[in-house]
Amino acid sequence: MIQSDYDPQIASEHASELAEKGLTFMGVDVYDPTDFWMLILRFSFNLLVCWLIIQFFYYKKSRRKDYYFTFMLFSVTIFLLLFLLQSIPMQIGFALGLFAIFGMIRYRTETVQIREMTYLFVVIGISVVNGLSMEIPYLSVVAANLLFLLVIWILESNKFLRHTSNKIILYEKINLIKPDRYDELVADLEERTGLDITKVEVGHIDFLRDVAFLKVYYKAGSNEINTIDSITRFS
């Protein structure tokens, strides 16, 4: 009689191990439930936080759909890049260099304003935090994101920092730019522009054409950012 080497206990243990490992293709797991749901959870959380910042803080004032598109895609790209590459050994210098490259991008078609660059830096920073914080407790990650939201909300609120707009004006009444006629200058500008002017600075003066550049600060009628205020000439 041939004795069978089959052991039901050993077979069940191997079966459970294979079930845990899942299907593989060319040595790579096709599906890892832990990694998959971790990706979905963290991606959704990161996208939600970035969307809240862009929608309710940046876009509420700027109304720039082009930067809205840019910020959201930057958030998605940076997060997925860091999350999916975190298993690859990287030196801290490489990680910081990658972060700096994306953070210092300038578009050749248009000079990116400070406010847009700041929000771009914030979006990249949040995505880096959420993408690399695998060993950090969930509560600490959530707290870090909430601190981002809190600080931005405080700085963007009119109660803390009241927004003052400004315009560059080419002014022809050069006799009014004298310091002793400042009040007349402000009154004339308010009459002609209809703005509530708070301050006027005199810049370049051209005596050949009797004109001067003025930088006029005024109280904006709304919280929206006017992106054309600083343009001084036609393209």
Residue 196 corresponds to which tokens in the numbers above? 């509530």
Q: What is the pLDDT of residues 158-185, one digit of tens each?
A: 665 566 678 889 999 989 999 999 999 9
What is the share, in percent, of the chain residues with pLDDT greater than 90?
15
64 and 140 fall within a common domain: yes
Range of the domain at 52: 31-156
Q: Say how far apart CA 164 and CA 107 lie, in whole Å.
A: 26
Domain assignment present for residue 45? The answer is yes
78 and 105 fall within a common domain: yes
148 and 110 fall within a common domain: yes
Q: What is the mean pLDDT of the chain?
A: 75
151 and 174 fall within a common domain: no
The reply to whether the predicted model has a pTM over 0.85 is no
Contact 49, 126 (CB under 8 A): yes
In 3D space, the residue among 153, 154, 107, 103 whose CA is nearest the CA of residue 128 turns out to be 103
189 and 127 fall within a common domain: no
- Interval 69-73 mean pLDDT: 83
pLDDT above 70 (res 190): yes
Q: What's the one-letter identity of residue 222? A: S
The tally of domains found in the chain comes to 2
204 and 112 fall within a common domain: no
Per the DSSP assignment, residues forming a β-bridge with 214 are 169, 202
Distance separating the N- and C-terminal Cα atoms of the chain: 97
106 and 181 fall within a common domain: no
Q: What is the pLDDT of residues 200-215, one digit of tens each?
A: 999 999 999 999 999 8
Domain assignment present for residue 232? The answer is no
